[in-house]
Amino acid sequence: MKTAWTRRSFIATAVTLALGSALPALAADPIKIGLVTALSGQSARAGEAITRGLTIAIDELNASGGVLGRSFELVRRDDEATPAKGVIAARELVFKEKVAVLFGGLDTPVSLAIVPIMNQAKVPFMGPWAAGTPITKNGANPNYVFRVSAVDEIVDKAMLQYAQKNFGTKKPGLILINNPWGASNEKGLRAAMAAKQVTPAGIEKFESNDIDVVPQLTRLKQGGADTLFMAANVGPSAQVVKSLDRMGWQVPIVSHWGPAGGRFTELAGPNAKNVHFVQTYSFFGNQRPVGAKVMKMLMAKYPDIKGPDDVTPAVGVANAYDAMHLVALAIKNAGSTDGSKIREGFYKIGTYAGLIKTYDKPFSPAVHDAITENDYVWTQFIDNKILPVGMVK
């Protein structure tokens, strides 16, 4: 047993040394792209989706020769959805691994904790998921934080716009989770409603462990609510749907993307489909050429992907894919991997035909969010699939 280990470690060392000395001869050092996201626990699937989007984009970029004559390499770290772990991982990737750009994950608190480090280190930070408004609007000048994802305050505007257009909403009732995310959306929805001179029927909060939301919903009903605006994670969102069932109140529900985070149909029952919620992309339905190409690449790279059903959560894959291509363009414009130059490079991006949309000058010193309220896709759960609204009657 002892002999085998010695022999194995000897071979391993020899191979490593041989490869190590051979690599510099093959190509210039790759450009490192960092990713700090949840790779374990409940959000592991989301972290994997971001990884897949980045990997597909990097493979594509490397196949066409990379940028500045260098290929890209992805370096991942798990933040376990906690800000402290995220900060440690971000420091390691920036100062030790010397990544050119760092990607964040899905948790707003983790991203918010990383933002000051990136602005201080002058290394661009790209958000492919977390939607908290202050991530990009962080008050720093110069600001190194960019995002290709939904943004709370823009989603809130889009919710009102969608409800008015599709349900003729005049008096919405707000049902929000009682935490900082709910508070952030209350602020955003209040601003969006004030801009359109809409007065809400009421604003109600509920706890994530509330079993019965009937009292809050009854207040909204008596206040004359004609639509519900909902911002809550998947479990509490399901409690709202079940409480509405008990009340026998059929009212349109327009929601932030909370329900997308889990088994919404299993938790909320058959009326889960009545909740219309925001997404940035759906691989279902007619795809533009980029969509078809990405789907084909995903199926070729990952054997578990047989079709759009298996690309979950789709927003993680789509946002990360587009964000990586925009990062590559920024590095190309910068002509170097210097953080300040890459930051300027983002502002010089012209037109790019991406997966979510064709981006036209997506970033400027005043705008660090590439996705606007017109880019969202409205979806609903049909069984266990997130489909664009109306695709299945």
Partner 1 sequence: MLVVSAIITGLGLGSMYGLLALGFHVTYAVSATVNFAQGSSMMLGAVFAYSFAVRLGWPVPLAAAMALALCALYGILVEFIAVRPFARRGSNAWLMATVALGIVVDNAVLFTFGKEPRGFNMPWATGSFTVFGIGISPLQLAIPAAGIALAAALHFYSRRTRGGKAMLAVVQNPDAARLMGINVPRVISGAFALSTVFAGAAGILIAPLFNVHSDMGTVFGLKAFAVAILGGITSAWGVMIAGVVFGVVEALITALLGSTYTQILSFALVIVVLAAMPNGLFGRAEVKKV
List of residues contacting partner 1 (CB under 8 A): 41-42, 178, 202, 204-207, 209, 211-212, 214-216, 218-219, 222, 234-235, 238-239, 242, 245-248, 262-263, 266-269
Q: Which CB, 161 or 218, lies closer to partner 1? A: 218
> From CA 127, how far away is CA 106, in angstroms rounded?
8
- Terminal alpha carbon distance of the chain: 64
> From CA 373, how far away is CA 352, in angstroms rounded?
19
- Closest contact distance (angstroms) between CB of 243 and partner 1 is 9
**CB 279, CB 317: distance < 8 Å:** no
| Amino acid sitting at position 110 | V
- Closest contact distance (angstroms) between CB of 53 and partner 1 is 22
Q: Which CB, 43 or 119, lies closer to partner 1? A: 43
Q: Is 43 left (phi over 0), alpha (psi -120 to 50) or beta?
A: alpha
Q: Which CB, 275 or 324, lies closer to partner 1? A: 275
> From CA 57, how far away is CA 55, in angstroms rounded?
5
| Amino acid sitting at position 181 | W
Whether the bond between 388 and the residue before it is cis, its omega within 30 degrees of 0, is: no
Strands 275-279 and 351-353: unpaired
- Closest contact distance (angstroms) between CB of 334 and partner 1 is 40
- Closest contact distance (angstroms) between CB of 266 and partner 1 is 4
- Closest contact distance (angstroms) between CB of 190 and partner 1 is 15
Lateral strand order in the sheet of 227-231: 202-206, 172-177, 227-231, 253-255, 275-279, 377-382, 385-388
Q: Which CB, 78 or 369, lies closer to partner 1? A: 78
- Closest contact distance (angstroms) between CB of 242 and partner 1 is 7
Q: Which CB, 264 or 376, lies closer to partner 1? A: 264
Q: What are phi and psi of 75, to 5 degrees?
A: -120, 120
Q: Which CB, 13 or 40, lies closer to partner 1? A: 40
